[in-house]
Structure 1
Amino acid sequence: MSDDPSNIQRRWRLALGRYAERQMGGLSKSDVRMDRTLDYLYGREYDKRGLHRPKGPGTLDPTQMKALDWLGSARKLFPQSVFEVLQDHALDRYGLSDLLDDPKTLENLEPNQDLLKTLLSFHGRAKPEVKDKLRQVADAVIQDIMRRLKSDVQRAFSGRRNPYKRSHVASAANFDWRGTLRRNLKNYDPDTGRIIADDLRFVSRERRRLPWSVILCVDQSGSMTDSIIHSAVMAAILSGLPGVKVSMVLFDTSIIDVTEKLTDPLDTLLSVQLGGGTDIGQAVEYSERYIDTPERTVFVLISDFAEGASPRRLYRSVARMNEARVRMIGLSALDDLGDPYMDAQIAGRLAGLGMKIAAMTPDKLAQWLAGVME
């Protein structure tokens, strides 16, 4: 974007809205259309604060534009990244639920994870005639996430690396850099300070023969929506792997057992009731029923660890699992950014009881799980 002073002024004029026209001047014909589109959405700030919206020559009042018209205009006028931000603000910040009331409007929405989060909260209130379309949009987002994660999970669980057995199958996952370095030391060039690797080494992998049980216990409070989405997708992928049995429990102050729905992530997500308080101890204690062979069980608690009840019940359950030699993982986030938020005091106490605490993206979780299960 140009740093030309006139362009900077133009951008400020669009950001501040039509009330700045007297001080900053008018706009070109194309910018007027952008100004109207932005005002349709962000002019609602005046309504929220009980203020009268300023009028300007040649402008359209919000009542003169329909949600579908606004959506089409925003898609044409702004880059894709900006359009997605506008769409998310319309749904999340300004509650333009009329964007979700019409199947034709849904066809114009851009499927992405933020839209999926909105659909999850709206689904229970949707009109019957748009519910099928909501499911189609949600399923498109889920399938995209599955495509991105599935190869990472399958690669991580492809078998345990055996450093003592060579393989002739060349793949990045099996590359033996130590063995390659040792084998090619004779090719060191002192003039360039480099080693010419003409003999690449790869290790073999051994299939896991004994079954493992993975228990996912997922906080469904409002701040954990990204984690719930990725957990549902991860559970579906893991449940399709040989030798892995997956159970999944969602919780706030109540418990929803979705173990029987794991093959369809959308069904899992539609069971979610976002919001409410948090009773982690109750959910962890409930999850213990799925422990058959403790030493071959991985328990994964996905939460911000902000316990709403007394933490004693939580500590007792975790201590029991640790004594039984269950392998325990605690994750504070599962979104693509991996930004952690957690109650450090409770997380620290759980770590002291034998739970490994971390914040990581879903692909890293797959690698960690595979390592824990070796």
Structure 2
Amino acid sequence: MTDDDERLRRWRLLLGADPLEASGEGQLELDGDDRVVDRALAALYDRGARQDAAGSRTAGLGASAPRVTQWLTDIRSCFPTSVVQVLQADAMERLELATLLKEPEFLAAMTPDIHLANMLIQLADVLPERARAAAREVVRAVVEEIERRIRQRTVATVTSAINRSARTSRPRPSDIDWPRTIAANLRHYLPEHRTVVPHRLVGHARRRTGVQREVIVALDQSGSMADSVVFGSIFAAVLSTMSSLRTRLVVFDTAVVDLTELLSDPIDLLFATQLGGGTDINGAVTYCSQLVTKPAETILVLVSDLFEGGDRASLLRRVRALHASGVTMLALLALDDSGTPAFDHALAGQFAALGVPAFACTPDVFPEVLEVAINGGDLAVWAQAEAAARAEGPAGG
């Protein structure tokens, strides 16, 4: 690109499109990241685009929450933090989001959903005090709905998995599981005696009390992972209520923050996250490795699209060491209902080669993932079977 072209590009981004040149003739064509920047700035500073970004006033903000959330993601990916703060503050004034959030009738008409919750969490730092209180109530409604959806099945599935993992081949007489023992020894049936010789006993080990598994959830806070951050935080909060688990929650961008102390209050937890920014997975995994005290009893769940901005070579060495030590590690490319995410295929393949499966997961299926991990199953095989089942559909084809 020549110096003249670069100057034209900068002026084009600064001034926006010429509204008198609807055909676009004579205007510099933008592509790639420049188009994202132009769209984000136009949504805020161009009158026509602003009308579209904010949505119809009669329809309310609820219908446009995904658009606003995408706008927030775009500006965080294109601008430094200092500029993002200015743009967010301008959005509060120009799009009148804070004013809308103060109106009781608007809040009553608004349907809380995860897109709206993400938007409010991202705007938390620039919301006025009254608006912040209203935003917390909206987020609370979303969190409570998600928690109702996942709690019962998660607790039941994990508890059952832990109980099954306690089986032993050397049970005490009172702990023998006779139906399973007979089934395991049918080949040793003696017809003349009409009996089964139990060469191998199957039973339950003495039930352990206290912590039996340690779960570390590491959440990537980049803007594209917004839904996954909400679901991951709520899952971690649910798991933290189970006495058989010791749950830790770590969130990261280019910095790593341990939010374990906030697990008792998912609302405070979500507002403590800072969606957006860069991604240093190596830094997060390094920190998580320092939390591991019993590798064979530890499950590390990395929720990230694997677009690493840090030291990839060091990350792979760290992952290899964790896997070799006995830690059960998996990478969830997404933990949401959105379907197949965009992710770094090369790094996902390198993780898989090290024995760490990487796959997307819906919230409804996550308890099964933990069940397989707790019982020492092959998560890669499970993920392939799950993907095949989804591809076949409910009718089997």
Contact 1:222–1:275 (8 Å) recurs in 2: yes
Contact 2:65–2:119 (8 Å) recurs in 1: no
Q: Quick one: structure 1 residues 52 and 263, their matched pair in 2 at CA, closer, same or farther if it must change by over 3 Å?
A: closer
Q: Please state how far the C-alpha of 1:156 moved relative to its aligned partner.
A: 1.3
3-state SS of paired residue (1:307): coil
Contact 1:158–1:205 (8 Å) recurs in 2: no
Contact 1:236–1:264 (8 Å) recurs in 2: yes
Establish whether residue 310 from structure 1 lines up as the match of residue 295 from structure 2. Answer: no
Contact 2:237–2:264 (8 Å) recurs in 1: yes
Aligned-partner residue type, residue 74 of structure 1: A
Can you give the 5+ residue segments of structure 2 that lack an aligned partner in the other structure? 1-40, 73-90, 168-175, 184-202, 376-397
3-state SS of paired residue (2:218): strand
CA offsets per residue over residues 233-258 of structure 1, 9 Å max, x none?
00011111121011111111111110
Contact 1:322–1:354 (8 Å) recurs in 2: yes
Q: Please state how far the C-alpha of 1:350 moved relative to its aligned partner.
A: 1.2
Q: Quick one: structure 1 residues 110 and 293, their matched pair in 2 at CA, closer, same or farther if it must change by over 3 Å?
A: same
Contact 2:62–2:112 (8 Å) recurs in 1: no
| Alignment partner, residue 123 of structure 1 | 124
Return the alpha-carbon distance in structure 1 between the equivalents of residues 241 and 283 of structure 2.
28
Return the alpha-carbon distance in structure 2 between the equivalents of residues 151 and 356 of structure 1.
26
| Alignment partner, residue 227 of structure 1 | 228
Q: Quick one: structure 1 residues 166 and 98, their matched pair in 2 at CA, closer, same or farther if it must change by over 3 Å?
A: farther
Q: Quick one: structure 1 residues 90 and 262, their matched pair in 2 at CA, closer, same or farther if it must change by over 3 Å?
A: closer
| Alignment partner, residue 16 of structure 1 | none
Q: Quick one: structure 1 residues 91 and 347, their matched pair in 2 at CA, closer, same or farther if it must change by over 3 Å?
A: closer
- Greater displacement, 229-238 / 210-219: 210-219
Select the residue among 98, 102, 124 that pairs with 1:100. 98
Q: Quick one: structure 1 residues 91 and 151, their matched pair in 2 at CA, closer, same or farther if it must change by over 3 Å?
A: same
CA offsets per residue over residues 18-59 of structure 1, 9 Å max, x none?
xxxxxxxxxxxxxxxxxxxxxxxxxx9899667799xxxxxx
Select the residue among 47, 50, 59 that pairs with 1:74. 59
3-state SS of paired residue (2:261): helix
3-state SS of paired residue (1:305): coil
| Alignment partner, residue 172 of structure 2 | none
Q: Quick one: structure 1 residues 140 and 354, their matched pair in 2 at CA, closer, same or farther if it must change by over 3 Å?
A: same
Pairing of 1:39-50 with structure 2 (within 5 A): none
Pairing of 1:1-374 with structure 2 (within 5 A): 71=57, 73-74=58-59, 84-89=62-67, 95=91, 97-101=95-99, 102-104=101-103, 105-160=106-161, 211-374=212-375
Q: Please state how far the C-alpha of 1:349 moved relative to its aligned partner.
A: 0.8
Return the alpha-carbon distance in structure 2 between the equivalents of residues 254 and 307 of structure 1.
13
3-state SS of paired residue (1:157): helix
Contact 2:69–2:118 (8 Å) recurs in 1: no
Q: Please state how far the C-alpha of 1:227 moved relative to its aligned partner.
A: 0.5
Q: Please state how far the C-alpha of 1:339 moved relative to its aligned partner.
A: 2.1
Aligned-partner residue type, residue 226 of structure 2: T
- Greater displacement, 333-342 / 316-325: 333-342
Return the alpha-carbon distance in structure 2 between the equivalents of residues 47 and 211 of structure 1.
52
Return the alpha-carbon distance in structure 1 between the equivalents of residues 318 and 290 of structure 2.
11
Q: Please state how far the C-alpha of 1:108 moved relative to its aligned partner.
A: 3.2
Return the alpha-carbon distance in structure 2 between the equivalents of residues 98 and 205 of structure 1.
62
Aligned-partner residue type, residue 98 of structure 1: E
Q: What percent of counterpart residues are identical?
A: 31
Q: Quick one: structure 1 residues 100 and 50, their matched pair in 2 at CA, closer, same or farther if it must change by over 3 Å?
A: closer
Q: Please state how far the C-alpha of 1:154 moved relative to its aligned partner.
A: 1.9
Q: Please state how far the C-alpha of 1:165 moved relative to its aligned partner.
A: 5.5
Return the alpha-carbon distance in structure 2 between the equivalents of residues 264 and 220 of structure 1.
19
Can you give the 5+ residue segments of structure 1 that lack an aligned partner in the other structure? 1-43, 54-61, 76-82, 168-178, 180-203
CA offsets per residue over residues 145-169 of structure 1, 9 Å max, x none?
10011122023123148699599xx
Contact 2:98–2:128 (8 Å) recurs in 1: no
CA offsets per residue over residues 246-290 of structure 1, 9 Å max, x none?
111111111111011112111111111111111110110011121
Contact 2:217–2:248 (8 Å) recurs in 1: yes
Aligned-partner residue type, residue 63 of structure 2: V
3-state SS of paired residue (1:363): coil
Q: Quick one: structure 1 residues 290 and 97, their matched pair in 2 at CA, closer, same or farther if it must change by over 3 Å?
A: farther
Q: Quick one: structure 1 residues 46 and 123, their matched pair in 2 at CA, closer, same or farther if it must change by over 3 Å?
A: closer
Return the alpha-carbon distance in structure 2 between the equivalents of residues 307 and 154 of structure 1.
33
Return the alpha-carbon distance in structure 2 between the equivalents of residues 143 and 321 of structure 1.
35
Query: What TM-score, normalized to structure 2?
Result: 0.62
Return the alpha-carbon distance in structure 1 between the equivalents of residues 66 and 49 of structure 2.
25
- Greater displacement, 281-290 / 206-215: 206-215
CA offsets per residue over residues 46-88 of structure 1, 9 Å max, x none?
99667799xxxxxxxx8xxxx99x64x326xxxxxxx843454
Return the alpha-carbon distance in structure 2 between the equivalents of residues 51 and 74 of structure 1.
17
Q: Quick one: structure 1 residues 51 and 370, their matched pair in 2 at CA, closer, same or farther if it must change by over 3 Å?
A: closer
Q: Quick one: structure 1 residues 145 and 310, their matched pair in 2 at CA, closer, same or farther if it must change by over 3 Å?
A: same
CA offsets per residue over residues 108-149 of structure 1, 9 Å max, x none?
322111100110111110111221111111111111110011
Q: Quick one: structure 1 residues 133 and 303, their matched pair in 2 at CA, closer, same or farther if it must change by over 3 Å?
A: same
Return the alpha-carbon distance in structure 2 between the equivalents of residues 254 and 361 of structure 1.
27
Contact 1:216–1:247 (8 Å) recurs in 2: yes
3-state SS of paired residue (2:339): coil
3-state SS of paired residue (1:158): helix
3-state SS of paired residue (1:281): helix
Query: What TM-score, normalized to structure 1?
Result: 0.66
Q: Please state how far the C-alpha of 1:351 moved relative to its aligned partner.
A: 1.3
Return the alpha-carbon distance in structure 2 between the equivalents of residues 141 and 205 of structure 1.
40
3-state SS of paired residue (1:136): helix
**Residues paired across the two proteins, number:** 276
